[in-house]
Amino acid sequence: MEIEPDKITAFCAVLADTAQVAKACKAIGVSRTTAYTWRKQFLQFALAWDEALKIAVSGLEDEAVRRAHEGVDEPLIHQGQFTPVVDYDAIDPLTGEKYIPALAPIKRHADGSPVVATVKKFSDSLLTFLLKAHAPAKYGDKQGIELSGPGGGPIQFTDTEKALRIAVILNLAKARAAGDVSDLI
């Protein structure tokens, strides 16, 4: 059995666009189980899937960078209500003059709905993740254990010490094989 090429193309197009396996499966009418089975069985499908995910991740990174640099407009809410934008430049049709600020009307979209005031929000945590991803040596989490001998050199063992360590490891392995796991407790 082979997968129809148009199904591979459609699956990968949705996956590249959404980064969601479930949506890609729905687009071609198969279950997630079937998709993952095909992935295991068909190298061509697995390679196309991997390439689609690379494209999806690239798109997600682009959006993260955009949000970190440009921010996101969030509606301004006051006392649980969206805050409308007042049109201070509106002209009173009766007088032909600008409204006084207290009487200025609310700005409206073409469909008549009110324009809602927004505030630009930036994400410090998103910016942190981007820095860690693109400059891990400088901004990444620094954890590690380093063992060294005198003066920072290699740890030296005599042949006797090496033989003793090997013997201990072998004895522990034999004990575990016999069901004794007391060294793990």
| Three-state secondary structure readout of the chain | CCCCHHHHHHHHHHHHHHCCHHHHHHHHCCCHHHHHHHHHHCHHHHHHHHHHHHHHHHHHHHHHHHHHHHCEEEECEECCEECECECCCCECCCCCCECCHHHCCECECCCCCECECEEEECCHHHHHHHHHHHCHHHHCCCCCCCCCCHHHCCCCCCHHHHHHHHHHHHHHHHHHHCCCCHHHC
Of the three residues 70, 94, 117, the one that is the final residue of a domain is 70
Q: Domain residues for 7?
A: 1-70
Would the pTM count as exceeding 0.85?
no
Q: Is residue 6 part of a domain?
A: yes
Residue 134 has pLDDT above 90, yes or no: no
Q: What is the mean pLDDT of the chain?
A: 91
Q: Is residue 82 part of a domain?
A: no
Tokens coding 106: 């609310």
Q: Is residue 14 part of a domain?
A: yes
Q: Is residue 3 part of a domain?
A: yes
**Count of structural domains, the chain:** 2
For residue range 4-45, list pLDDT tens digits in order.
999 999 999 999 999 999 999 999 999 999 999 999 999 999
Of the three residues 70, 99, 121, the one that is the final residue of a domain is 70
Q: Is residue 62 part of a domain?
A: yes
Q: Is residue 80 part of a domain?
A: no
Q: Is residue 121 part of a domain?
A: no
Q: Is residue 175 part of a domain?
A: yes
Of the three residues 70, 91, 116, the one that is the final residue of a domain is 70
